[in-house]
């Protein structure tokens, strides 16, 4: 489903002469090809939609780190280019959960896994990754899970 959308959007960007969008979509497709090769090496065929969403989130995180470095270095034009890529890549992700939704999902995951202490954090985060790939910022979620798990 996402693959077809990338191809259709790429053709649309070509027709419209939108070089920035076209470049960002080509970056996504190149990263996806690498992911597919990796999956074939593991005997899985193609990357799943969940894996594609995780890949897109990773690409956004990389660009956000680059933006921070470019802004520190006074390279605003490069920071702007990265921001434009983040915008295009983000358009393929489902709506992100806000903090209240994340807290509710974490509470449910803690109850479902029976997590009783910090030792169970991996179980909780694993369950969240399975259910909310692409919709949850797992860096934030990990911090919330730490706060919400009983200390002990």
Q: How is the chain split into domains, by residue range?
A: 2-90, 99-148
CB 120 within 8 A of CB 113: yes
- Give the CATH number of domain 2-90; options: 3.30.1330.10, 3.50.50.60, 2.40.50.150, 1.10.1510.10: 1.10.1510.10
Rounded Cα distance between 52 and 67, Å, is 22
Question: Concatenated DSSP letters for 35-92?
Answer: HHHHHHHTT--S--HHHHHHHHHHHHHHHHHHHHHHHHTT-HHHHHHHHHHHHHHHTT
99-148 has CATH 1.10.10.410 classification: yes
Per residue of the chain (152 residues), give pLDDT as tens. Answer: 889 999 999 999 999 999 999 999 999 999 999 999 988 888 888 888 888 888 998 999 999 999 999 999 999 999 999 999 999 999 998 888 888 999 999 999 998 988 888 888 889 988 898 888 778 888 888 889 988 887 75
CB 134 within 8 A of CB 93: yes
Write out the two tokens for 11.
């053709």
């Amino acid at each position: 489903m996402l693959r077809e959308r990338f191809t259709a959007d790429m053709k649309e960007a070509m027709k419209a002469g939108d070089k920035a969008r076209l470049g960002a979509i080509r970056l996504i497709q190149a990263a996806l090809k690498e992911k597919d090769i990796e999956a074939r090496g593991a005997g899985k065929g193609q990357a799943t939609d969940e894996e594609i969403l995780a890949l897109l989130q990773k690409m956004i995180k990389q660009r956000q780190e680059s933006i921070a470095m470019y802004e520190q270095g006074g390279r605003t034009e490069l920071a702007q280019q990265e921001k434009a890529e983040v915008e295009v890549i983000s358009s393929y992700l489902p709506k992100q959960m806000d903090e209240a939704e994340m807290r509710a999902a974490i509470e449910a995951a803690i109850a479902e896994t029976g997590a009783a202490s910090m030792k169970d954090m991996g179980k909780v985060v694993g369950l969240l990754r399975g259910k909310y790939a692409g919709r949850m910022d797992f860096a934030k979620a990990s911090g919330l899970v730490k706060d919400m798990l009983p200390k002990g």
